[in-house]
Amino acid sequence: MVTILPAPYGLSLKDASLLLTHEYLPLEAGVAHTADGMIHIAASTYMKGCTGAMLDWWFGWVHTTQQYQLWHPRDHVFSDWEGPRGNGSEYIGGHHLVEEYIGGELASLKISFRDPEVYFGPGWQAAFNAAGYATAVCARVGQWNRTSGQVVYVGHLIHLVKEEPDGVRMRSRFWLGDVEEGVAEGAADGAAVSGGFALGLLRHATEEMAILATILPDMYTKYAST
């Protein structure tokens, strides 16, 4: 049974750059509290035959519900997109609006993509190259009300892509409990920042990246140039 580990095991968001200098940290697959009061989720998936370019393309391509359900046919329910709609790996500044089952509960989320510089600082490209990382998909994650459109941001995600001899290693990291400033106390749904949700997210993230690894090379060949 997976349990939530105490604070010494949880990587704080402010220390995300340690991922670049440590190929493996004490927590590569699991859930732990952080010293600053968040919940940290770490998932790791080896994706044979995949590249950083393929993953950048994927996050800029997966907009519709039909596309989104390819990624996890059982858990992914709904998808929409606000932002660039080209086919050229353009997702930074865009927003992915999704409904998906996490830990058996339906979650409505807004994933707002950010430049990796927000988390890794200026000169992140050089640091990535030196450490053998191809790309990082970074975002602020919010609870989204599909009816009203209201969003309350409660966390962050980083999908860090390490180059390997015959593919990539996806180091997925999530931080829950960073509720945006100015939000009234109690406005955020506690279920989406709870330990149960975090454990469900660990399983979901591991499954969806494993599924993606089986379809991405062919999808990229078929659709990336169209």
Residue 192 has pLDDT above 80, yes or no: no
| CATH class of this structure's domain 4-223 | alpha beta
Confidence of residue 180 (pLDDT cuts 50, 70, 90): confident
Closest of 117, 161, 110 to residue 140, by C-alpha: 110
Q: What is the pLDDT of residues 75-93, one digit of tens each?
A: 999 999 999 877 667 899 9
| Helix H or strand E segment including 120 | helix 117-120
Q: In what order do the strands lie in the sheet with 4-5?
A: 4-5, 30-33, 39-48, 167-176, 151-164, 133-144, 105-114, 95-102, 76-82
pTM for this entry: 0.94
Q: What is the pLDDT of residues 4-19, one digit of tens each?
A: 999 989 999 999 999 9
Residue spans of the domains in the chain: they are 4-223
| Helix H or strand E segment including 98 | strand 95-102
